[in-house]
Structure 1
């Protein structure tokens, strides 16, 4: 039931914002291992976190966006450029997701952003931000989709 919304987020970020995005499958469980390829960064991993069915007509879906970038240089200016790239990427995410709808959802709500990892790992300086977002969808029991 939630797959179409997660896939819609991947598509919106990839096509509209021009940023590599894919569903999260534990790639960041141990960032020191560097399970992401150098040529694939920056990337946004999209993870379905939870739903809230406490309202009778709608279900709130909560997702986490893991925004990952790395600098493979010890040069401070190069590392600063990478940091600027990730900030520009965050602006694109905000611009292309804020108040947008996926399928039949209500507009996306952008929530908290938090840096969750920033360290020397996998022969690079890796930075990971977690951006929480949510959207409300019609209750599929009422719409007959279940």
Structure 2
């Protein structure tokens, strides 16, 4: 592996459809709670909306040295050795993951492990990882 590529933070893309869905659902419930004057319920909905917004804007992927650090809010943090990454495949999977967009990459690492992520600048992200580990197989449009 080459070690000359500097570290970089890649922010997650955010799907408009996901934001629209969450806005409609949480906004609808918030309006209902306000209309029915259920103030504790409205407070909970607003707190949930704030937490979800925090997760969406803080999801990021940092490549530094020989590691990939994945962070999504305060609930998910993982660090992968870039040398353990075997494959990166494009996917639109809707499974839960540290990704704020449905335009995702599935990273296969270790023996059987995978994680779904959604860097906004996918091509740069993949090129950066391949510069550090040229053995990474990249599969495009594996939808």
Would you call these one fold, judging by a TM-score over 0.5? Answer: no
Which structure carries more relative contact order (alpha carbon 8 Å, separation 6+)? Answer: 2
Larger fraction in strand: 1
Instruction: Give me the TM-score of the superposition, normalised by structure 1.
Output: 0.26
Instruction: Give me the TM-score of the superposition, normalised by structure 2.
Output: 0.26
- Rg larger for: 2
